[in-house]
Chains A and B, each alone.
Chain A
Amino acid sequence: MPLQWLIVFFAWGGAAALAAVPNLRHATLANVVVSGMTFMLALAMASEPYAQHGWTHTDTLNLPFILVSTFIGLTTAVFSAATLDREGFDHWRIRAYHAAYQVFMGAQLLALLADNLGVMWVAIEIATLATVSMVAVHRTPAAFEAAWKFFILCGVGIALALFGTIVLYLAAQPLLDDATGLSWNALMGVAARCDPATLNLAFAFLLLGYGTKAGLVPLHSWLPDAHAEGPVPISAVLSGLLLNAAMLAILRAKAVVDGHPDTVAPGPFLMALGLASVLLAALALWKRRDARRFFAWSSIEHMGIAAFAFGIGGAAATLAGLLHLIGHSLVKSAIFFGVGRAAQVKGSQKIAEVSGLVASHPALGWGLALAILAIGGMPPFLLFASEFRLLSAAMAEWPWLALLLALGMLTAFAALITVLQAMCFGERTPDVPATPGGWRKAAAATPLWLHLAAAAALGIAMPAGFASMLAMAAQVIG
């Protein structure tokens, strides 16, 4: 079996096995092992040449994201192993939670690997179903409300995306044979000869559909609630992985539509949605009192920044967007690790009740402070590099819009600094009495620092192979 299939089926096989493990200790450990093996498989896949196997393929665009996704999958599993005992799950929920986690990981990888747009759609649908069940797992009214909203809005979103996929096929139908139908590579090949008006129609639906999943304003309203109510590891993988998969789906659709000279340019639509996301999120950040909702809104802002970069188009801006997605994944999941841990230590996820972390828990407090600076675009982290590249590309082509974008980013940054001061410094709030120590404390702190190190390493000295992959992807897509 080719590695591309093996990695997906391995995760799903892991899900089936984990559904049978009722013991918390064993299940969390097995989850880490499965995630670790998946990461190994991704590394092995990266050492293979690019290839297409049936409905899946590896190319310069998806391979970096597969590496990042499996890495975050592994660190999140470690974080989950260290903190899950505090969620108070019974054995059914332990089974369901871990099975859903691996089903999600497999679907996420399939969504990235898929060459066939139909398969990509099915994978994103499975990922949605898995995450909905994880958001609802606490069974509180607020969790049900969040899960229901997530389900209904994303249900409409993925339905529209399927409609867009059907219309896209209709546009290319006379030029494709049965064997290649819906293959992205084949569609790219014939895009220049498709019917342009049908391509426009298809892109409108695909943008609305996958844009809902990516949390672009005005289709974002499910995102803050879904991030705030599930177990913390779910927030980390929602922001770190699922949003990227949706964004790459939009990017692939845009590349096909861009391939025809007479279509309505898709770029300005992406730029408009992106800018709206940045500006609305920059204002909304100031009104949040709940830490996880706050950082969920920050995800909306960053998806907006990436969408804006992809909208500008061209190799430079697209590269900035891809770097931004990767940097955001690493740093935002690190923040959720920090916030999740802080919420456990302080017994609340309200910003006002989590304060003075640096004084009480230095490793956690400083880690969270650095991560918030990193998400704000401070050097030396990767997001500084991507935002710098984006702003210079935007200044060259759309100076006025670049000013608006910079204004939004600065407003959001100021809000981030306010929250940083409140949570990490400020007056120390009391801890919940029974704070566990030992390996759990270390295992909960490690992923945060590991992600920061990765984001800093990629920002300062990105490995040449990784950088050239992304640059080539930006050439093809942009």
Chain B
Amino acid sequence: MRFGQLSYDLSHLLGGAVLLLSFVLLYQRRIGAVINAFATQGTLLAMAAAWAAYAQGTPGLYLTALLALAVKGVLIPLALHRLVRELNLHRTVETALGVGPSMIAGVALVGLCILVTLPATEGARLLSRETLALAMSVVLLGMLMMITRRNAISQVVGLLSLENGLILAAVGVAGMPLVVELSTAALVLMIALVAGVFAFQIRERFDTLDTGSLEEHRGEQR
């Protein structure tokens, strides 16, 4: 597989689109928009997985794609929207780092990923290495989002988007064993996390979803 072939180009296009959505997540200021951007990213990830299933001839990945579409494209965004509406949360996102610096940090992280992965993986197949660079960028941007947002929902969305990067990496490595099982297990973790937001009823307990206020309950300060 190389540049100019449809299967190669389309995998790159979809992988790149997932990365682009990570940047979109970084600059949203309204919580609804953050959730919508995440839904779009989940849908694109599902398309990437489906294309990988077709291109690599591994039908199991269609299941991964279907689950990603159903859970990340539809269910989790709906649940999060409902949470925001029902609890009447602040609709704006409080950032610890402004949009400009976040974007600059994001670009620097992507540069770092390319510099690290491309020389490091010379032995691997071309497509795998480049998908890995994209996936690692999505992972690091997810972490960046978790660091720069003070609001619990945006932090959860950051972790969910980090996990999108993992799935992108897993489906990009052709022949990865247990990929369906691993991606499903990772998905279960993410569903549990969203369930945790509901179960822990952070709003009721703490009156705000700003995780800064949780700090009052930290260990020794009681």
Q: Does A151 contact B (CB under 8 A)?
A: yes
Chain A positions 181-202 with a Cβ under 8 Å from a chain B Cβ? 181-182, 194-195, 197-198, 200-201
A residues with a Cβ closer than 8 A to B are 116, 118-119, 121-122, 125, 129, 132, 136, 141-142, 144-145, 147-149, 151-152, 155-156, 158-160, 162-163, 165-167, 169-171, 173-174, 178, 181-182, 194-195, 197-198, 200-201, 224-225, 228, 287-290, 293
B169 A159 Cβ-Cβ under 8 A: no
Question: Could you show 17 A-B contacts with beta carbons less than 8 Å apart?
Answer: A136-B199, A142-B222, A147-B196, A148-B200, A148-B202, A159-B163, A159-B186, A163-B136, A163-B165, A169-B177, A173-B173, A178-B175, A200-B120, A201-B116, A201-B120, A225-B218, A228-B219
Q: Are B155 and A293 in contact (CB under 8 A)?
A: no
Using known A-B contacts A145-B214, A147-B200, A197-B122, determine if residue A152 contacts B177 with beta carbons closer than 8 Å. no
Total interface residues on B, using CB and 8 Å? 51
Known: A148-B202, A225-B218. Contact between A156 and B146, CB under 8 A?
yes
Query: For residue B189, which residue of chain A has the nearest CB?
Result: A125
What is the distance, in angstroms, from A253's C-beta to the closest C-beta of chain B?
A: 16
Contact of A167 among B132, B146, B201, B219 (CB under 8 A): B132
Measured between C-beta atoms, what is the minimum distance from A212 to chain B in Å?
Answer: 12
| Choice from A147, A148, A195, A228 contacting B123 with Cβ under 8 Å | A195
Interface of B is mostly: helix
Kindly identify, within residues 142 to 196 of chain B, every residue whose CB is under 8 Å from any CB belonging to chain A: 143, 146, 152, 155-156, 159, 162-163, 165-166, 169-170, 173, 175-178, 181-182, 185-186, 188-189, 192-193, 196
Chain A residues within 8 Å of B176, by CB: 166, 169, 181
Report the minimal beta-carbon distance from B163 to chain A, rounded to whole angstroms: 6
How many Å from the CB of B88 to the closest CB on chain A? 20
Residue of A156, A201, A287 near B143 (CB, 8 A) is: A156
B101 at interface by CB-CB < 8 Å: no
User: Is A166 a contact partner of B119 (Cβ separation < 8 A)?
Assistant: no
Instruction: Indicate if the CB atoms of B124 and A151 lie closer than 8 Å.
Output: no
> A118: which B residues are within 8 A, CB to CB?
177-178, 181-182
Is A159 within 8 A of B139, CB to CB? yes
Contacts of A181 in B (CB 8 A): 175-178
Residues of B within 8 A of A182 (CB): 177-178
Neighbouring B residues of A225 by C-beta, 8 Å: 218-219
Contact B124 A195 (CB under 8 A): yes
What are the interface flags for B201-222 relative to A under an 8 Å C-beta threshold, 1 for contact and 0 otherwise? Answer: 1100110000000100111101
Whole-angstrom distance from the CB of A128 to the nearest CB of chain B?
8
Contacts of A129 in B (CB 8 A): 188-189, 192
